[in-house]
Amino acid sequence: MTAAPTSENRQRIYLDHAATGWPKPPAVYEAMDRFARQVGASAGRGAYRSASIADEIVASCRRRLARLVNHPSPQNVAFFSNGTTALNAAVFGVVGEGDHVITTAIEHNSLLRPLNWLVQHRGIELDIVPCDEFGRVDPAAVVGRLRPTTCLVAISHASNVTGAVQDVAAIGGMMRGGETLLLCDAAQTLGYMSIDMQASGIDLLAAPGHKGACGPLGTGMLALSGRAAAQMKPTIFGGTGSISQQLEMPTAMPGMLEAGNLNVTAIAGWDAGLSVLAVENPSSRSDDQDQIASRLRHLTSEIEGVRALTGGVLPIVSLVFDAVDVGMVATLLDTEFGIEVRSGLHCAALIHDFLGTGPQGTLRISGGHGTTLDEIDRLGEALKEIATELQLG
Ligand SMILES: Cc1ncc(COP(=O)(O)O)c(C=O)c1O
């Protein structure tokens, strides 16, 4: 194998964007530094000048997010610290004792675990719709499980294991006119694909800010349709800077879901990242995302003993190796080639039964805004060397 990179000459190739996006556009770091050093005030509390600046940053970020997902009301967008807290707020906020919920086998544990807790402790009935061997879910199979008592359909826009994008708009279209709410987990698509909450009939859109949406770690969002906001119950209670004489939480958004101080430093960074996302591809280093996705799909065609599982347009691919531990391949890529990817189950408990990749999981490679074709080619060369070394095929 080629000489292992030392800490001095190591060139880092980051291909774990499905976990979190890196690097962020420079404007993100600058905005966070500026806010932390020069403003540093709470939002939604004081009336002095720097508190008003904090308020304006939060309001600006809400407006940008509403625009990004075509939501008419920025006030119905609430901030969270990641995708998981947003999904928990959504699930516990609208699902009640004994309700029926439909979800799918591709989901991340941030959705499956709260739903499973409700099955065990609140007697809800959960229907889990299967996926095919690439992680694709049939929209008709989801809608076919609807019952008069179904309060929620919860589905990811894309699998974080194979990148398979689900036709959420088709599901929303078939559900239109009914009373069941549609929750979409856009963790893998916000900032990478266009999302239209209104056209797709999405009532609750949950997503982290720190992946494709160019925010820093510590950001997430939940956007609610009018009818979802009317049904929503708060799950975290505390100070909101409003109607403070009252012991109940405000019933209006966003205060209903935003008890306690917001992480305005992170939101300032997210606001700056979204401003870059609105006008340009967030990294000048970035090659065309379709080309990256296509090059990734063909990565293993020349390597014996390696199979690629991918669902389509996103630059996410899961590799499966004949008789080799994926954790070892990930370690070799890191230590010998400076290539950072993730191995294992990717916090998705159920999909591996359908992909045939349990119990060890897959080697997941995920590109993002800054990924270049050259980086994918270097990954391909590294995988060939490793396959030769390990005598695969
Ligand atoms: C599909 C999906 N949903 C939810 C999450 C949870 O997001 P976070 O890590 O920001 O809590 C992830 C994270 O990888 C994800 O891939």
- 346 Cα nearest atom in ligand 1: 14
How far apart are the C-alpha atoms of 379 and 300, rounded to whole Å? 10
The pLDDT value given to residue 11: 80
**What would the pLDDT profile of 94-116 be if each residue is shown by its tens digit?**
999 999 999 999 999 999 999 99
What b/e sequence results for 246-277 when a residue is b if at least 16 CB atoms lie within 10 Å of its CB, and e otherwise?
Answer: eeebbeebbbbbbbeebbbbbbbbbbbbbbbb
- Give CA–CA dist 303/134, Å, rounded: 20
Per residue, the 3-state secondary structure of 295-337, as one string, reads HHHCCCCCCCCEEEECCCCCCEEEEEECCCCHHHHHHHHHHHH
| Distance from residue 236's CA to the centre of ligand 1 (Å) | 20
Q: Where are the domains of the chain?
A: 13-23+283-389, 26-279
CA distances from 82 to 125, 145, 209, 218 (A): 27, 30, 7, 6
Please give the distance, rounded to the nearest whole angstrom, from the Cα atom of residue 360 to the centre of ligand 1: 20
Residue 220 pLDDT > 70: yes
For ligand 1, mutation pick of 214, 347, 362 (most atoms within 8 Å of CB) = 347
Residue nearest to atom 8 of ligand 1 (CA): 83
Ligand 1 center from residue 185 Cα (angstroms): 8
Q: Which one of 160, 270, 318 would you pick to mutate in the ligand 1 pocket, going by the greatest count of ligand atoms within 8 A of its CB?
A: 160
The minimum-distance atom of ligand 1 relative to the CA of 210 is: 10
Ligand 1 centre to CA of 34 (Å) is 28
Q: What pLDDT was estimated at residue 173?
A: 98
Q: Are 226 and 76 in contact (CB under 8 A)?
A: yes
Lowest mean pLDDT segment, chosen from 33-42, 114-123, 302-311, 365-374: 302-311
Q: What is the mean pLDDT of the chain?
A: 94
Alpha carbon of 245 to ligand 1 centroid (Å): 37
Per mean pLDDT, which range of 46-60, 252-266, 286-300 is the poorest?
A: 286-300
pLDDT > 90: percent of the chain: 85
Q: 115 is written with which tokens?
A: 């739903």
In the reported structure, the alpha carbon of residue 108 is separated from the centroid of ligand 1 by a whole-number distance in angstroms of: 7
Of the candidates 389, 325, 317, 322, the one whose C-alpha atom is nearest the C-alpha of residue 16 is 317
383 has a pLDDT exceeding 90: yes
Q: If you average pLDDT over each of 193-202, 294-303, 307-316, which comes out highest? A: 193-202
CA-156 nearest atom, ligand 1: 1
pLDDT at 41: 97
Least confident of 81-90, 291-300, 319-328, 345-354: 291-300
CA distance linking residue 183 with residue 335, whole number of Å: 40
Give the pLDDT confidence score for residue 4 in this predicted structure.
47
CA dist 296 and 321 (Å) reads 16
Domain 26-279, CATH among 3.40.640.10, 3.40.50.10490, 3.40.50.1100, 3.40.30.10: 3.40.640.10
pLDDT of residue 5: 46
CA angle 339, 322, 307 (to 5 degrees): 65
Provide residues with CB under 6 Å of ligand 1: 19, 82-84, 108, 110, 156, 160, 185, 187-188, 208, 220
Higher-pLDDT residue of 13, 295 = 13
CA-nearest residue for atom 14, ligand 1, is: 19
Where is 112: in which H helix or E strand? helix 109-122
Mutate to test the pocket of ligand 1, among 16, 110, 195, 222 (most ligand atoms within 8 A of CB): 110
pTM for the full predicted model:
0.95
- Decide if pLDDT at 2 tops 50: no
pLDDT, one tens digit per residue, over 158-186 is: 999 999 999 999 999 999 999 999 999 99
Each residue's pLDDT tens digit, 189-210 = 999 999 999 999 999 999 999 9
- Taking the CB of residue 357, how many other CB atoms lie within 10 A of it? 22
Fold of 13-23+283-389: Aspartate Aminotransferase, domain 1 (3.90.1150)
In this chain, the answer to whether the domains covering 13-23+283-389 and 26-279 adopt an identical fold is no
Handedness of CA 169, 311, 366, 359 (dihedral sign): positive
The per-residue pLDDT for range 342-374, each reduced to its tens digit, is 999 999 999 999 999 999 999 999 999 999 999
